[in-house]
Amino acid sequence: MISLTLLKSTGHGAPAQTVSVFPDEVHEGEMLWVDAESPTAQELADLKNRFGLDDYAIEDVVHRNQRPKLEEYGKNVFAVIHVPDVKNRKSGIIELFVFFQKNWIITIHSDDSELIHSIDSRIRARGLSPLTTAPSPDLFFYVFLDFAVDAYYPILDDVEERLEDLDKQAITTFKTRVRRMENVVSIVTTIGGVRRKLMNLRRSLTPTRDMLGMVMRGAVPFVADSNLRSFRDVYDHSFQLLETIDNDRDRTSDVRDLYISLHSASTDNTIKVLTLVAT
């Protein structure tokens, strides 16, 4: 399904409105947003021909499972954004494919996306203000990156809460020395799951930070120098998040080692008791 939204400068009617057909021309002070949800092969072919999209980029869209990246293909820019998604306490990654040029931007995704709904609601209410009064694809691209990077925060907050609980359980286990043997395997397995989640988040966030670094170096066409300050905020957030991920991974190692030590101590005590009984 393809949706078309025409954004206009503030003060010229509604900041964003749905259009039913592709406009013949996008005028100065306007920008076209094309959103394709689970597009068919024919719809992708139509977009490719209409906007001159590169064959290799379309191939990435079709095959999916791409790392976050940013590439220039002739007359337009192609990007892959990973958006963390949490459903029923299980986190996953949604791939968002983005093409943009000077007066249009295309987003492609496989499923109904909360990110798309959030951004759609924002631009219909106030366009891209307070960033700008005139819509521009580079700032629209920034908004997508900003939403995507911010989506990591609640996941890491949940991870840190779980680590706090595991810390408290370790202290309780150490003090009471109750059911060490029964709990340790389950808890160490839980810690392993937390570590895997952190590793997956890092695998997505590291190339996202690198992509933002390309933007900050001025290496991306159609991104105005005057708008780099906005990207700097997201770039800084990505660094902060990566530091948090690394710190949390260190904490999981500490908690895991503590539980293993408790388990070993319990085993040693049991052996000592059995030895005394035997003698």
- CA 15 to chain centroid, in Å, comes to 27
Let me know: does 194 contact 252? Beta carbons within 8 Å. Answer: yes
Highest mean pLDDT among 164-178, 228-242, 246-260: 228-242
C-beta separation of 56 from 73 below 8 A? yes
Residue pair 60/66 in contact (Cβ under 8 Å)? The answer is yes
Q: Is the pLDDT of residue 279 over 60?
A: no
Instruction: Inform me whether the pLDDT recorded for 217 exceeds 80.
Output: yes
Which region among 134-143, 180-189, 197-206, 260-269 has the lowest average model confidence (pLDDT)? 260-269
2-150 to CATH, choices 3.30.460.20, 3.20.20.70, 3.30.70.2520, 3.10.20.310:
3.30.460.20
Domain covering 152-278 in this structure, CATH number: 1.20.58.340
Predicted pLDDT of residue 277: 40
3-state SS string over 147-206?
A: HHHHCHHHHHHHHHHHHHHHHHHHHHHHHHCCCHHHHHHHHHHHHHHHHHHHHHHHHHHH
- The whole-number average pLDDT for the span 6-17 is 67
**3-state secondary structure (DSSP) of residue 223:** coil
Q: Which amino acid is at 21?
A: V
The pLDDT score that the predictor gives to residue 241 is 93
Q: Convert the pLDDT of each residue in 142-198 to its tens digit.
A: 888 988 898 888 888 888 888 888 777 766 665 555 555 556 667 777 777 888 888
Under the banding of pLDDT at 50, 70 and 90, the label for residue 72 is confident
Q: Where are the domains of the chain?
A: 2-150, 152-278
| Beta strands per DSSP E along 23-140 | 30-37, 69-73, 76-87, 90-100, 104-109
User: What is the C-alpha separation between 137 and 157, in angstroms, rounded?
Assistant: 31
Three-state DSSP state, 130: coil
- Mean pLDDT of all residues belonging to the chain: 78
Query: Which pLDDT tens digit goes with each residue over 82-138?
Result: 988 766 455 678 889 999 988 888 989 887 677 777 777 776 766 666 666 677 788
Choice between 22 and 16, residue whose per-residue pLDDT is larger: 22
Average pLDDT over residues 2-17: 71
- pTM as predicted: 0.79
The torsion angle over the Cα atoms of residues 53, 133, 228 and 67, rounded to 10 degrees, is -40
